[in-house]
């Protein structure tokens, strides 16, 4: 049923939205108030509606856009932010918005399941129904990106979702640095790849990762012949020292630079560094499907030769093939 529907629909409009800067309070209690969270959700809705008015059918918001990036510091009380998809204010809010506007919205949120907490995305279809959840697979643990303190590594595996407007794959931020993420979603039939993101300055490494970050995902698009859409947050977020965070003082500057590529990795649309905005691109998914078939990239794969990637012992290679040890 879904396949027949997709074959009839020639054009798909894909949209990237970057939410406004999330500000940390200047006081020790730097997580976020419920008022600040409500303001973030309301502003995100304004931009979603702008996208819908331009004809967007799938709208992407950044990673954990409800709040400041609380993973910059380690505080036990922030565990209380985790909620189920049914309880989370952003998921509930945008379920109603998706149904009203008839659009698909992948919503990033901090998920709680019994004793575990995850960095997750709920994919809301154009009728507002939650099609399912993807849990972030790769969890970073770096200076001021201290996500292992908050998130259990995802247990869903890489997934695709059959939405009203196409089959989409969703990875989350650090997932985008791993080519296996994109390839696993491509092998399941993803037609578009989405990456909600929260990435910015590297205070310890003192490097500007923006171009590198983009090139990684441009490569995923080119090697899988699938458009990639990335939405990043913007602005400086500071942490002030207090006993609850071990007297940490730090700041991260999120550079935004959200973008959309075509299926060869070329940039279709991009936002300037640090600027809020709306990006819209149109893709003919039937034409892209034919292009993937014509290139033969998936036909010529040799999975039996890739066991090393999964840590398996794949033996030695001879002129006649593979000899197992």
Give catalytic residue positions: 63, 136, 173
CA end-to-end span of the chain = 46
Laid out side by side, the sheet with 12-18 consists of 58-60, 12-18, 277-283
Query: Six-digit token pair at 140?
Result: 């970073």
Question: Can you list the pairs that 305-314 forms with residues at least 24 positions away whose Cβ atoms lie under 8 Å?
Answer: 309/180
Q: What is the SS3 string spanning 161-227?
A: EEECCEEEEECCHHHHHCHHHHHHHHHCCCCEEEEEECCECECCCCECCHHHHHHHHHHHHHHHCCC
Distances (CA, A) of 49 to 56, 74, 128, 290: 9, 35, 15, 32
Its sign, for the CA torsion 139, 143, 149, 150, is negative
Q: Are 309 and 303 in contact (CB under 8 A)?
A: no
Query: Six-digit token pair at 249?
Result: 């003082």
Going by C-alpha positions, the residue among 22, 53, 61, 51 that lies closest to residue 38 is 22
For residue 279, the cross-strand partners are 16
DSSP string, 10-42: --EEEEEEEPPPPPPPSSS--S--HHHHHHHHH
Going by C-alpha positions, the residue among 273, 276, 281 that lies closest to residue 40 is 276
Distances (CA, A) of 34 to 37, 68, 73, 81, 239: 5, 12, 19, 10, 18
Q: How far apart are CA 182 and CA 251, in angstroms?
A: 31
């Amino acid at each position: 049923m879904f396949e027949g529907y997709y074959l009839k629909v020639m054009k798909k409009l894909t949209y990237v939205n970057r939410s406004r800067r999330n500000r940390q309070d200047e006081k020790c209690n730097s997580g976020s108030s419920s008022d600040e969270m409500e303001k973030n959700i309301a502003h995100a809705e304004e931009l979603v509606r702008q996208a819908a008015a331009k004809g967007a059918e799938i709208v992407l918001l950044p990673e954990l856009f409800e709040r400041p990036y609380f993973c910059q510091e380690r505080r036990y009380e922030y565990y209380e932010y985790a909620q189920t998809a049914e309880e989370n204010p952003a998921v509930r809010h945008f379920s109603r918005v998706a149904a009203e506007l008839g659009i698909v919205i992948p919503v990033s949120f901090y998920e709680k399941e019994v004793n575990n907490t995850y960095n997750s995305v709920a994919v809301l279809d154009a009728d507002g129904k939650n099609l399912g959840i993807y849990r972030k697979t790769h969890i970073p643990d770096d200076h001021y990106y201290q996500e292992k303190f908050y998130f259990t590594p995802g247990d869903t595996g890489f997934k695709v979702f059959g939405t009203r407007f196409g089959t989409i794959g969703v990875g989350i931020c650090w997932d985008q640095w791993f080519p296996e993420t994109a390839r696993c979603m491509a092998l399941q039939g993803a037609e578009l790849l989405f990456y909600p993101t929260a990435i910015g300055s590297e205070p310890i490494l003192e490097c500007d990762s923006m171009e590198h970050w983009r090139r990684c995902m441009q490569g995923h698009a080119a090697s899988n012949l699938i458009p990639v859409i990335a939405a990043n947050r913007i602005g400086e977020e500071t942490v002030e020292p207090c006993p609850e965070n071990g007297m940490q003082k730090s700041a991260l500057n999120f550079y935004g630079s959200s973008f959309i590529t075509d299926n060869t990795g070329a940039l279709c649309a991009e936002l300037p560094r640090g600027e809020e905005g709306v990006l819209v691109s149109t893709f003919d998914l039937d034409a892209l499907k034919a292009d993937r078939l014509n290139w033969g990239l998936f036909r010529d794969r040799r999975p039996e030769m890739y066991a090393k990637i999964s840590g398996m012992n794949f033996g030695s290679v001879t002129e006649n093939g593979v000899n197992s040890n």
